Structure 1
Amino acid sequence: MRIFKFGGASVKDAASVKNVANVIQQEGTKNTLVVISAMGKMTNAFEEVIEAYYHKKEVLSEKLTFIEEYHKNIMNSLFEKEDAVYQEIDILFGELGWFLARNTSQRFNYVYDQIICFGELLSTKIVSAYLSKMGLENNWLDVRNYIKTDSSYRDAKVNWELTQGIITKKVDKNKLNITQGFLAGNDTENTTTLGREGSDYTAGIFAYCLDAESVTIWKDVEGVLNADPRVFSDTTLLEQISYEEAIEMAFYGASVIHPKTIQPLQNKEIPLLVRSFEDISKAGTKVSRGVQLKPFIPCFIVKKDQVLVSISANDFSFMVENNISYIFQKLHEYQLKVNLIQNSAISFSVCVDNKFNKFDAFYNELKSQFKIDFQKGVNLYTVRHFTDETLESIHKKGTSLLTQINKETAQLVIKEK
């Protein structure tokens, strides 16, 4: 078995869907399972539906119409009006409307998962139907019946034993299978999700359970680069990376590979390929066991708009285990992801991601117990396999507020000019 994963950018319009079909046809359709994300920016569009459902009912219909027209416009360029896929898509929109009208639950995370899933369901129905139209016979699988999780909505944990049994028994390995990324199901037949950007993880789960020969993530870049081309003008393709290096890069925030994806692949030594759906003649990047980074060059990871926080005791006493443990508990409660830690005898510094906008509440709770200094809007640069020259180039970007260096990795918090 081979596992392919196509993200939203690869199915953002009709031409993109045609290209995915071309990639699959040229790569071969047998013994292949394809994981597909929501089209384009549709996950964001469904999040706007959820926001309207809770807080702006007056624009809910408008948000839903935008999504329906987006998908229908793509379909109109791929199908004839009488094709059966139109009815299948109408049924999905009917199910969404039914949920919005009948739901009585106040649990936001539960409601989020029941709505957000339609992005992947719609995209895979359309791609599956187009493949069939092009003569590429395939099985459309509802992933919620295959990957089983607990009920931790929006960040569900996989029940590996149950999932393994279902996938081994029910997936026809000899055919082309099309399914959704990001989604799963619990024991009450409700939709759960694996965390944002979880489609890569879906591919890893299927690969593990099917003992796949490889996983290929198809992207709009030629492979894994040593830096984000949106931030750095000079980037280099990494031809090969070890699992360990990929895990390190994911831990520090590299966006090409989802952090949870590597582990199931490493456990069975299944290679991960990152290739370009725009030029399939290129080999891309291969992630596998025990290989040297090739080429061996510095790799840059940037996390923007961070908050640098320095915390010390009001009485200038030592910052010892009980203080630090309490602070970490509060960081967890307020969903402030810690990306860097540095402590001295009387102070404790962290660089955190405030994507849930809960830092102010965290600060207000702790300010009576600790002296807290902070700086918002800073950028965290992580450099793997750094050199003096690369560190100097980062220092030139602005004022260095904190630097931490170990054998292989340097981290710099920069307030940019």
Structure 2
Amino acid sequence: MLVYKFGGASINNIDRIKNTANIIKTNASKRLLVVISAMGKTTNALEKIAEAYYDNRKEDALQLFEQVKKNHLDVVKQLLVLNWKAAEDQLKEFFTEIEWMLHDKPVRAYDYYYDQIVCCGELFSTCIVAHYLREQQCNVGWMDVRDIVRTDNNFRDAGVDFDFTTQKINDDIVPLYNTHEVVITQGFIGATDENESTTLGREGSDYSAAIFANILNADSLTIWKDVEAVMNADPNKFNDAVIIPSLNYTEVIEMAYYGAQVIHPKTIKPLQNKNIPLYVKSFLDTTLPGTVINGDKAAALPPVIVLKDKQVVIQFKSRDFSFIEGKPVEQLHEIFKKVKLQPNLSQNTAISLLCCFDGHVEKTTEIAQEASLFFDVDVEREVSLLTIRHYDKATIDRLTAGKNIVLQQQTPVTVQAVFRN
């Protein structure tokens, strides 16, 4: 049993859908559970629909949705020959889920409507891929993951009920392999016990795949990407980035914590619990070895570089020159928790606390405004946060040369610096 996960980039046009289908078909005899994300920029488009709907711009929302519908129906017409009608009928059932909502007025919180609308992108894409694979004589079963993954009602970041989900996978997914080689389902989404759609938060599709791998006791999970493997830095920012052939679970969690675009920590835990290896491979060239992530002892690694731009530094300074500890810091952390934004780096002096955040304008503004009731607050935007794990002096010197550093911290393994651009 293998679990494969394909992201939106792997199916963002006709050729890539055919390529993804070929990877699945080639490995179908190994018994596959395949998790597929929404196509291309579909999630972004559905987010705009949710925003328009919630702003009571009904006609804008309906017009935007017409374009999403057209895009998917066009793919069906170009891709399918025999199964186009069945695929079109199934898509139209999903379209109806959104359309009935768009004709009403919002009466609940935005996050609820976000999940009801955005979740459909994965249903659209998996429907199309499953019908295409059947047309290619691949023995495929399709499952609506909302019937399998039970969650709480914390919309946009739902928690999974593992007991219920485990039972449903054993009752509804496992028997499909008596008659099918491949089962296709969706990532990122689930449903409450009242059948309300939910989403699982950041990198939810990878997390979904890891949940299936854990419960099915899979031999491995492979995440197929448009990159050769995990690299020590973003190749779009650093032209000397190199491939990392192997990582252990702990290192990946550390890298993700500092903002590396690798694998989200919550994806790693279900795999780590059962020592299931994770492969990161290129769907553009399946012959490349990629990266393996497992529980083996960490190999020697090159400096791992993470550069986050558009950061915000906020200084909270005591007004009466008293120590900034105890209750004042507790008040700040309550504000961070309320706004749902935690600092990426913080450092305190006797009378001030300096925090670096991701540059969410609304959230950082709210933090500054609420904190100004207790502190003198200074906000500086458009700074950058550089993190280097497994650093050496040459790498630090090269990447910080000429920088106006605002804040720097260093441990035996990791150095971080905030600097002005």
Tell whether the structures are fold-level matches, with TM greater than 0.5: yes
Give, in whole Å, the separation in 2 of the partners of 1:186 and 1:103: 22
Give, in whole Å, the separation in 2 of the partners of 1:150 and 1:64: 28
Alpha-carbon offset, residue 368 of structure 1: 3.4
Alpha-carbon offset, residue 407 of structure 1: 1.0
Give, in whole Å, the separation in 2 of the partners of 1:307 and 1:22: 45
Give, in whole Å, the separation in 2 of the partners of 1:191 and 1:368: 39
Deviations along 1:232-257, one digit per CA (max 9) or x if unpaired, are 11111110001000010111111221
Gaps of 5+ in 1: none
Equivalent residue, structure 2, for 1:154: 156
For 1:18-417, list aligned pairs within 5 A.
18-55=18-55, 56-80=57-81, 83-102=85-104, 105-172=107-174, 174=177, 175-293=181-299, 296-355=301-360, 357-396=362-401, 398-416=403-421
Deviations along 1:203-228, one digit per CA (max 9) or x if unpaired, are 11111111111110000001101001
Give, in whole Å, the separation in 1 of the partners of 2:101 and 2:379: 43
Give, in whole Å, the separation in 2 of the partners of 1:139 and 1:218: 20
Deviates more, 1:367-376 or 1:243-252: 367-376
Secondary structure, aligned partner of 1:89: helix
Alpha-carbon offset, residue 331 of structure 1: 1.2
CA contact 2:25–2:133 (8 Å) conserved in 1:
no
Give, in whole Å, the separation in 2 of the partners of 1:368 and 1:169: 55
CA contact 1:238–1:293 (8 Å) conserved in 2:
no
Partner amino acid for 1:142? D
Partner amino acid for 2:255? M
CA contact 2:58–2:102 (8 Å) conserved in 1:
no
Deviations along 1:72-95, one digit per CA (max 9) or x if unpaired, are 222222113853111111221122
Deviates more, 1:48-57 or 1:347-356: 347-356
CA contact 1:270–1:288 (8 Å) conserved in 2:
yes
Question: Identity over aligned residues, as a percent?
Answer: 40
CA contact 1:312–1:346 (8 Å) conserved in 2:
yes
Secondary structure, aligned partner of 2:317: strand
Deviates more, 1:256-265 or 1:2-11: 256-265
Give, in whole Å, the separation in 1 of the partners of 2:402 and 2:345: 19
Q: How many residues align?
A: 415
Give, in whole Å, the separation in 1 of the partners of 2:30 and 2:299: 32
Alpha-carbon offset, residue 337 of structure 1: 2.6
Secondary structure, aligned partner of 2:153: coil
Alpha-carbon offset, residue 104 of structure 1: 5.2
Give, in whole Å, the separation in 1 of the partners of 2:358 and 2:337: 12
CA contact 1:17–1:127 (8 Å) conserved in 2:
yes
Equivalent residue, structure 2, for 1:3: 3
Give, in whole Å, the separation in 2 of the partners of 1:357 and 1:302: 22
Give, in whole Å, the separation in 2 of the partners of 1:137 and 1:379: 50
CA contact 2:314–2:368 (8 Å) conserved in 1:
no
Give, in whole Å, the separation in 1 of the partners of 2:42 and 2:10: 13
Deviates more, 1:111-120 or 1:395-404: 395-404
Deviates more, 1:134-143 or 1:172-181: 172-181
Deviations along 1:265-315, one digit per CA (max 9) or x if unpaired, are 111101110000000001100000033235x20001122211111212101
CA contact 2:303–2:390 (8 Å) conserved in 1:
yes
Secondary structure, aligned partner of 1:357: helix
Secondary structure, aligned partner of 2:103: helix
Alpha-carbon offset, residue 29 of structure 1: 4.2
Deviates more, 1:49-58 or 1:276-285: 49-58
CA contact 1:335–1:356 (8 Å) conserved in 2:
no
Secondary structure, aligned partner of 2:292: strand
Gaps of 5+ in 2: none
CA contact 1:336–1:354 (8 Å) conserved in 2:
no
Give, in whole Å, the separation in 2 of the partners of 1:204 and 1:302: 27
Deviates more, 1:187-196 or 1:83-92: 83-92
CA contact 2:32–2:182 (8 Å) conserved in 1:
yes
Partner amino acid for 2:153? S
Deviations along 1:155-187, one digit per CA (max 9) or x if unpaired, are 001111111111122213733110001001111
Secondary structure, aligned partner of 1:184: strand
CA contact 2:255–2:262 (8 Å) conserved in 1:
no
Give, in whole Å, the separation in 1 of the partners of 2:364 and 2:9: 32
Give, in whole Å, the separation in 1 of the partners of 2:68 and 2:344: 35
CA contact 1:12–1:39 (8 Å) conserved in 2:
yes
Alpha-carbon offset, residue 26 of structure 1: 2.3
Partner amino acid for 2:122? E
Secondary structure, aligned partner of 2:334: helix
Give, in whole Å, the separation in 2 of the partners of 1:355 and 1:123: 30
Give, in whole Å, the separation in 1 of the partners of 2:141 and 2:412: 49
Partner amino acid for 2:138? L
